[in-house]
């Protein structure tokens, strides 16, 4: 059977260090992912139902030679264990996968206000928003 010896060819999950207990918990629990900033994903254990907000942690993502990987989590398990990755990082890699990881890398915090008709929300105001001014779509009105 062929092996996968090159780090860049290994899956994201294979790059993490975790045990069977963590793998089972990740598989059994329900997860939600929200990209909240550049290289930052909020990982929520939705298995807790209405208490899920108490089980939500931010995971930082890093671009490495081995690909895009979960790097740090703010949960106590990740903060106090240097040997093993926490379940939030494993869930992000296994359940969120490359799509969520790439979305965190590609996140652009600059909102572009767009209306359904293709215009901008600033069209209703005298002054343009920064994005419309920067792109040259609208100019700042001259003062009298």
Same domain, 139 and 118: yes
Could you tell me if 132 and 101 lie in one domain? Answer: no
Mean pLDDT, residues 29-54: 95
How many domains does one find in the chain?
2
Is residue 33 in a domain?
A: yes
Of 28, 93, 30, 95, the closest CA to residue 59 belongs to: 93
Answer yes or no: is 41 within a domain. yes
What whole-number distance in Å separates Cα of residue 28 and Cα of residue 126?
54
Tally Cβ neighbours within 10 Å of residue 72.
Answer: 16
Q: pLDDT band at 80, cuts 50/70/90? A: confident
Does residue 102 sit in the same domain as residue 114?
Answer: no
Over range 32-57, report the average pLDDT.
Answer: 95
Q: Residue 129 sits in which domain range?
A: 110-144
**What is the reported pTM?**
0.71
Residue 1 lies in a domain: no
Q: What is the pLDDT of residues 84-140, one digit of tens each?
A: 999 999 999 999 999 999 999 999 877 666 666 777 888 888 888 888 888 888 888
- Is the same domain home to 84 and 135? no
């Amino acid at each position: 059977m062929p092996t996968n010896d090159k780090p860049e060819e290994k899956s994201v999950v294979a790059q993490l260090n975790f045990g069977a207990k963590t793998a089972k918990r990740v598989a059994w629990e329900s997860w939600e992912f929200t990209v909240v900033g550049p290289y930052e994903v909020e990982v929520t254990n939705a298995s807790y139902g209405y208490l899920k907000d108490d089980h939500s942690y931010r995971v930082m993502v890093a671009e490495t030679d081995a690909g895009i990987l979960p790097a740090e989590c703010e949960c106590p398990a990740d903060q106090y264990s240097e040997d093993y990755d926490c379940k939030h990082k494993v869930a992000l890699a296994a359940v969120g996968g490359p799509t969520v990881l790439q979305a965190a890398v590609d996140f652009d915090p600059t909102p572009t206000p767009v209306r359904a008709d293709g215009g901008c929300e600033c069209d209703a105001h005298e002054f343009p928003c920064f994005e419309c001014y920067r792109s040259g779509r609208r100019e700042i009105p001259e003062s009298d």
